[in-house]
Structure formats: C-alpha cells, structure tokens
Amino acid sequence: MKGFLKRLSPFAPDNSGVVSALFEFGGLIAVCDAGGCTGNVCGFDEPRWFTMRSAVFSTGMRDMDAILGRDHLLVDKIVSAQETVKAPFAVLVGTPVPAVIATDFKALRRMAEKRTQVPVLTIESTGVNYYDKGASKAFEMLFDTFAVENLPVEKDSVGILGATPLDFSSCQAGKFLADSIDKKAYVYGMGAGLEAVKHASANERNIAVSPSGVAAARLLEKRFGTPWKMASPWLPEELLKNCSSLAGKKVLIIHQQFAAAALREKLLAAGADDVACATFFMTEKSLTAPHDRTLKEEEDLAKAVEEFKADVVIGDRMFKKVLPDFQGGFIDFPHFAVSGRLWENL
Amino acid sequence: MADRYYFISAGELAAKGADNIPDELIGNKHLIYSSPATLAFNSPGAQGFGVKRAGLAVPDSVMLLVAPRCCGRNTSALAAPGNLGERFFYLLLDDTDIVTGRHLVRIPEAVAEVCKSLPAPPSAVMICITCVDALLGTDMERVCRKCTEKAGVPVEPCYMYALTREGRLPPMVQVRKSVYSLLKPLPKRSDAVNVLGFFTALSEECELRFLLKQAGVNKIRELALCADFNEYLEMAEANFNIVLNQEARYAAADLEKRLGIPSVELTRLYQLDKVQRQYLLFAAAIGVQFDDKVYYNEAAAAVENFMKSHGNISISVGEWLNGDPFELTLALLRYGFKVPEIFGTVGEGNFVWVKKIAQLSPETRISSNLSPTMMLYKDNEIPCDAFIGKDAGYYHPGVPGVNWNGESQPFGYAGIKALFTELDTVLTAGKEKK
C-alpha cells in the first residue's frame, strides 16, 4: 500500500534537510509550524543542536493563525526575534501547515525583508518529501542569494557542496571531507560559513558530495563557470574494514546514491563480483548503473534484494527489519536520515 | 533592542498581576526557541511523553500514525528492538493527500493490514492524526468506526493537534481521554479506585497507596501498572477516580459521564504542610481518617537533614521536572533555601504561587525557556549551588543538581523525601570530589 510502513519508521523529511543545510550559516531560521516539526528537527534530526548554538525557532502557529492567515503576526515575531539575534539573514521553512493553507511565502519574504532589512530566504518544504529535496533547495537558494560577486579564482581551492550530518552520519564529516581532499577545501555548512559562500566564485572547482549539493553546483557553474563533479571522497574507515572481504560476492548497497556509488567503486576494485546500488532518495543519472534502482515503498527493498540475488547487503541496520527472510550477510552502513544513528555513537 | 536574556523579578511580576503577564513570558507572542532546555515543552514528542507514546499506554494496543513523514520522524528514537517501535505503524501522506484528504479512504485498509501483520490481534488500534487533519476538519470518529467494521478491533483516535496547544482541549488533554475511552461499564466495587493523570506509575514509595489501604481501598489501579488489556478494562469498576494531573480532568469528566465514576483531584505539592492539609481534606471528603504521621516525619527529616548538611544554599529551578516550578520554588523558600531564578511558564493557574514567592523573595528572576532571548543566556549567568530540573541543568553546566524528570512519578511526602535525598546524594558526591 502506498505510503504504508509496517517495519520501518519515517526517514528525515525535507524541512529537516533545510535546517541541516543552513544550520551553521548564522541565519535566523524560523520553522513555520506549531512546534512539533521544530521539535523533530532539533530533538532528532539535528545532532549538532546539543553541542552548537544556532538560531532555530518555531513560529508557534496556532489554529487561528492558520485559519485566519495572520501573516503580519508572524512577521512581527520575526522582527522581534531579529532584534535579539541580529542575524545576517533569515529563513522561513515550510511544513505541512503552510502547505495545507497555501501560505504565500513570496509575500512573507517581501514583508519580512522590508521590516528586518536583511535577506530572507523562503523554502517551501512541506514535510512530505525526503530531506535531500529540502537540503538541495536550501543550498541552492543560499548560493543564489549570497554568491553573487565574481572574484578571481584561487588556485587549488575546492568547494564541497551537499555535506550534512543527515547524509554523512557524523558531526565531524566536515573535517573528514576536508582532510580527504589534497587541496584547500571549503565544506559549506560543515565548517565553511557565510563568508565562504560569498567567496564561492573563487573556487577552482566544486564537488557535490551528495545529491543535495548538485543544484548549487550547477548554479555556480552557470553563474561563474566553476567546473564541478559528483563524488563522495570520504567513506568511514570502519565501514571499509567491514567490507574488506567481499571479493567474488554480489553486493547490494542501500544508501544515499553518491555514498553508495563511491563504495561500489571500492568494492569492484577489490574484486566484488557485482555491485548494485539502491536508494529511497534523489538520484543522478550519470551515477546510475544498469542494476541500480530507486525504492519507493518498504516492500520494494525486499524485492530489490531478491531480484538482484544479493549475497551481501550493505545498508543502515534499520533495513534489516524489512528483510526477515534474507539469509545472506548484512553490513551496517549507518545513514542518519534513516535511523538517526551517528558513526561516533556506535 | 535586546542584548541580554529577558527576565522579570517575582516582585515586579506579582505587582503586574495575572492579567498583565509580559509578552516575553507568553509562548504565542513570540518565536519559540526550542533549545535543548525546552524541547519537552515545545514538542512533547521530541523528548518525554508526547501523544504518540501516551496513546500506547493502553495495554496491548498498537498505533497507526496517519500523517506527513515529518510528524512521525522522531518515532525512530523509539524504534530500538524491545522498545515501542514494534507497536508503531505509519500511513504517510503525500502532497495531494494533505490538500484533498484522499488518504482517509485508505485508513481502514491500513488498519486491517496492521492487524493482519501481527501474530495476535491488538487490543486496540490507536490512530494518531496531526495538524493536517485538524485543518482538513477530518471526522476521525467516523473514520474509526469504519476501521472497526473492517478490522474487527476497537479503533480510537488520538489527536496530535499541535495547533491547538493553547486551546480548551490541547493534545495532552485529549490523549488522556483517548486512553480511557475503551473502558466499558462494569458493576462498581466500593473498594476500588483509579489513579489518573500520569502515563507512568507513581513511585513505589508513594504513601498515597498505603493511606488508601488504611481506608479500606484494596484495588488501586494505574494505567501504567495494568499488566494486560483485561486488567485495564477492570478500571471501569472503580468507585472513584483520583486525578493527580489537571490534564486528566477532561478524561475524568468523560468517565463520570459514561461510566458514572466520580473523581477527586489532588495536586502534586512540595510544601510539607500543604501536603498534610491536602490529605486531611481528601480523607474528610471520602469520609475516612488517614494516619500520615510517619510519612510526614520522614519527609520533614529529609528536608532537615539536607539543610543541616548543606545549609541554605541557592537553587536554580526549571520547569522540565515532575512538579510545578513555582510551587516547588515556594516550598524551597519556605524551607529556608534561596532561589535566584526560575525558568517556567506563568499562567493563571500558578500565578498564586508567584504572589507568594514575591513576598518571600521578590528579587527572584523569572524567565521563559521559550523566549528567543534565552539564546543570550550565558552558562551559569546567575550563580547557584544546585539546580532542580533538566532545563535548569542545561543553563548551569558543571553545577550539581537533579533533573527530577524521571518516569517514576513522585507524589506527596514520598516525593519530598526523594527529592531531598537525591539532591543530598548529588551534592555530597560533589563535595567529596572536591
């Protein structure tokens, strides 16, 4: 049945993806909700929330706000909070409530910009899509708004786009990604902040390390001619160690597409017989191999394993719940957007 | 322009009166800061007991969450084997569903599928719906009846309508009614009572049980202690209900209307004399006498010993705890301690405590955890020797204290005794370390 989950629990939604992408840029982030969505984001989907202060707020919508569309009250609240936070920009994040009442985000943006005198980004997430869609929109809008100045290219500088703990399952991913590149790396949103975004045109090239980074990479290519590629330059050592004896095996990797594709390359190089990737999330055609598949429903996962006749499945261990009859090997590859597990807490 | 966190002294606030509480202390007048200190209030489901977990208090029940994926996301935290994860199912809505409500026709089929997937039929399927259905005006009672027809098990709605939090029937009030809604009339037993209000059990040491036994009450039932659905159904034979949390008033009224069970309300207090007085009035109301001397003395001794060991220390009080922060503050002040600050939500209900605090300690600062200005609160900005409440602990890293928000529910003399005993343990350990 469409949308029915018997064994899995819901993956991170698009509004979490928006907050995750923008968490470290110093903006005032207002989630347009009644409180529960912000609670989900801060209490569950944003592991940095407990160690790093960021101005993430709920707009605290109530039934009459939704019914009467009291946008001016929302703008009053933003103006008042901005007096405290003094953020360089503000973000309004959509949730199911504004989606149902068809909030006019463009009008909200104009009203809020006029009164706060800072740029206001409005991201119309709905809470029904996956995190990557929200993160992608957020990165794209951030660069569209702030990466406007055409600067001379800085030799050996690399912009890393699409890094979030939701994708990389580690709060240290920014450091690991930067260390994995032999150049001056700016990991946007996990180490590199708003000033680095403003100087993005100086990058010699960009790397989209997850599907969430692709739209921003394309934007920067179009605006400044910055070449880019898709890659996932960091895979955890522990994972590679656990995958060290898969020569001759048929392996199915279930993860975010870029991470899965990077692992596939390593496994094939180490002698795996065949490796397919499956994902519930966004995909890029150029990284898709013939056996790869996009999963929609919970039961698609078991079908994918059966049809590929996998000897070994690599994926977040939450997926094991859907594979009670699978007799092959299973290697845990945590995906925070799936299970909320971090490598550092394993 | 704010350059520090907002606070108001108890003296100033009392002078303003309950009708003039400053906007900074009222959640719906500003953006809500969901700091780790306040997650439990802004989004009860994020940490602690939200509607989803509460709805599963009915023994052997399962829950179907019908909502956009963002509403069910944090349930992953409960998904560990042996936890509640195995009792949650989801019907996730897409963009079209949330606008047209077409998902409603799929719910009966999903409920049937849930029942089919389980080794034994559940006692009930609780259907949790969220803001989307609140806005769509879904008649969930009707949908539940259809589900019962299709699946052959009781199906009850749980309304997780965060939009109505400050309304007449907020979600945590509604869900308390939902969890007792499966009770059907039974002949009354004069020696049976129910304790309503919490989703977890009263602490084992709580004297309320012993006092009721003294009065001839042999069956004291709590939802959390019902071993199975049959035991749960026996709650319908109670002679009266004892309401320990005002959020259960609506459920108690419903039980009185449907099953003819009257109720009496007791408040969780930390002032010894008020606890004693409450028991006296309660005993009179039910026509008995309680001998509570031994429990009173034990609690009084715990307070006295603590004072002897640690002196009249200053304690920061938060609201993420089992109790009302203002009543607890008043108790601490009356015992002789100092309370420099309270993080709490002031309303009509607890303003009476604010007035009394103002008389004893007018300079005590009152702040709202939810205020955006709390971003500016510097760690340990107001020095204290100890904290009570998980949120107060967040603002005072390195300071000894107790979260006092455990699942075993403190009440009465036993609650006072346990609080001071726990505080003593923590503070003594801190001293020894030094």
Question: Are both B332 and B206 inside the same structural domain?
Answer: no
Closest chain B residue to A58, measured at CA: B32
Name every chain B residue with its beta carbon within 8 A of the beta carbon of A78: 31
**Would you state the pLDDT for residue A43?**
87
CB contact under 8 A, A128 and B70: yes
Per-residue pLDDT band for A66 (boundaries 50, 70, 90) equals confident
Q: B198 near B245, Cβ under 8 Å?
A: yes
Length of chain B: 434
Nearest to B70 among A1, A4, A15 (CB): A15
Length of chain A: 346
Question: Are both B89 and B136 inside the same structural domain?
Answer: yes
Question: According to DSSP H, which parts of B88-222 are helical?
Answer: 95-100, 107-117, 131-136, 140-151, 171-180, 207-214
**Alpha carbon of B375: minimum distance to chain A alpha carbons (Å):** 8
Q: May I ask the CATH class of domain A237-345?
A: alpha beta
Question: Are both B302 and B427 inside the same structural domain?
Answer: yes
Q: In the numeric block, which tokens belong to residue A216?
A: 């921003």
CB contact under 8 A, A63 and B163: yes
With respect to residue B45, please indicate whether it lies within any of the assigned structural domains. Answer: no
CB contact under 8 A, B132 and A96: yes
CA atoms within 13 A on the CB side of B258: 16
**Would you state the pLDDT for residue A17?**
98
CB contact under 8 A, A58 and B117: no
Name every chain A residue with its beta carbon within 8 A of the beta carbon of B64: none
Name every chain A residue with its beta carbon within 8 A of the beta carbon of B88: 9
Q: Identify which of B424, B207, B428, B159 has the alpha carbon closest to the alpha carbon of residue B305.
A: B424
- For testing the chain B interface, which of A46, A53, A54, A58 should be mutated: the one with the most B CBs within 10 Å? A58
CB contact under 8 A, A1 and B110: yes
Question: Are both B81 and B209 inside the same structural domain?
Answer: no
CA A325 from centre of chain: 31
- Looking only at the bridges linking them, the beta strands covering A228-230 and A205-208 are parallel
DSSP class per residue in B192-242: EEEEES-SSPBPTT-HHHHHHHHTT--EEEEGGG--SHHHHHGGGG-SEEE
**Would you state the pLDDT for residue B79?**
64
- Is residue B188 classed exposed, middle or buried when 0-12, 13-18 and 19+ CB atoms within 10 A define those classes? middle
CB contact under 8 A, B94 and A95: no
Separation between Cα atoms, residue A287 and residue A284, nearest integer Å: 6
Question: Are both B345 and B396 inside the same structural domain?
Answer: yes
With respect to residue B179, please indicate whether it lies within any of the assigned structural domains. Answer: no
Judge: domain A157-230, CATH 3.40.50.1980. Answer: yes
CB contact under 8 A, A57 and B33: yes
> Where are chain A's structural domains?
14-134, 157-230, 237-345
With respect to residue B115, please indicate whether it lies within any of the assigned structural domains. Answer: yes
Residues with Cβ within 8 Å of A52's Cβ and at least 6 positions away in sequence, in order, are A23, A24
**Alpha carbon of A129: minimum distance to chain B alpha carbons (Å):** 8
Separation between Cα atoms, residue B210 and residue B331, nearest integer Å: 24
Question: Are both B301 and B360 inside the same structural domain?
Answer: yes
A-to-B residue pairs, Cβ atoms closer than 8 angstroms = 222
pLDDT above 60 for A201: yes
Name every chain B residue with its beta carbon within 8 A of the beta carbon of A27: none
Judge: domain A14-134, CATH 3.30.420.40. Answer: no
CB contact under 8 A, A5 and B135: no
Separation between Cα atoms, residue B332 and residue B327, nearest integer Å: 9
Name every chain A residue with its beta carbon within 8 A of the beta carbon of B158: none
CB contact under 8 A, B1 and A83: yes
Record the pTM.
Answer: 0.94
Question: Are both B75 and B197 inside the same structural domain?
Answer: no
Residues with Cβ within 8 Å of B158's Cβ and at least 6 positions away in sequence, in order, are B51, B52, B54, B55, B63, B126, B127, B128, B129, B174, B175, B178
Range of the domain at B115: 51-171
Q: What average pLDDT does this structure show over A57-73?
A: 90
Question: Are both B231 and B152 inside the same structural domain?
Answer: no
At residue B45, the 3 state secondary structure works out as coil
Question: Are both B56 and B162 inside the same structural domain?
Answer: yes
With respect to residue B275, please indicate whether it lies within any of the assigned structural domains. Answer: no
CB contact under 8 A, A84 and B106: no
Spell out the per-residue pLDDT of chain B, length 434, in tens. 567 999 999 999 999 999 999 999 998 899 999 888 877 766 666 566 688 888 999 999 999 999 999 998 888 766 665 567 889 999 999 999 998 999 999 999 999 999 999 999 999 999 999 999 999 999 999 999 999 999 999 999 999 988 888 888 899 999 999 999 999 999 999 999 999 999 999 999 999 999 999 999 999 999 999 999 999 999 999 999 999 999 999 999 999 999 999 999 999 999 999 999 999 999 999 999 999 999 999 999 999 999 999 999 999 999 999 999 999 999 999 999 999 999 999 998 899 999 999 999 999 999 999 999 999 999 999 999 999 999 999 999 999 999 999 999 999 999 999 999 999 999 999 888 77
With respect to residue B276, please indicate whether it lies within any of the assigned structural domains. Answer: no
Nearest to A85 among B72, B135, B372 (CB): B372
**Alpha carbon of A289: minimum distance to chain B alpha carbons (Å):** 29
Q: In CATH terms, are A14-134 and A237-345 the same topology?
A: yes
Top pLDDT among B35 and A37 is at A37
**Alpha carbon of A47: minimum distance to chain B alpha carbons (Å):** 11
Nearest to B94 among A33, A62, A128 (CB): A128
- Is residue B141 classed exposed, middle or buried when 0-12, 13-18 and 19+ CB atoms within 10 A define those classes? exposed
Per-residue pLDDT band for A244 (boundaries 50, 70, 90) equals very high
Nearest to A40 among B2, B46, B117 (CB): B46
With respect to residue B131, please indicate whether it lies within any of the assigned structural domains. Answer: yes
Top pLDDT among B37 and A199 is at A199
**Would you state the pLDDT for residue B166?**
80
Q: How far is CA A206 from CA A214, A217, A282, B171, in A?
A: 10, 7, 19, 47
- For testing the chain A interface, which of B69, B90, B168, B371 should be mutated: the one with the most A CBs within 10 Å? B69
**Would you state the pLDDT for residue A75?**
96
Q: In the numeric block, which tokens belong to residue A281?
A: 């999330």
- For testing the chain B interface, which of A84, A86, A166, A298 should be mutated: the one with the most B CBs within 10 Å? A84
Q: What is the CATH number of the domain that holds B134?
A: 3.40.50.1980
With respect to residue B40, please indicate whether it lies within any of the assigned structural domains. Answer: no
Nearest to B376 among A14, A84, A101 (CB): A84
Question: Are both B403 and B372 inside the same structural domain?
Answer: yes
Please tell me the total count of domains within chain B. 3
Name every chain A residue with its beta carbon within 8 A of the beta carbon of B1: 83
**Would you state the pLDDT for residue B265?**
97
CB contact under 8 A, A61 and B163: yes
With respect to residue B79, please indicate whether it lies within any of the assigned structural domains. Answer: yes
Name every chain B residue with its beta carbon within 8 A of the beta carbon of A3: 90-94, 97, 103, 106
Q: Phi and psi (nearest 5°) for A31?
A: -85, 120
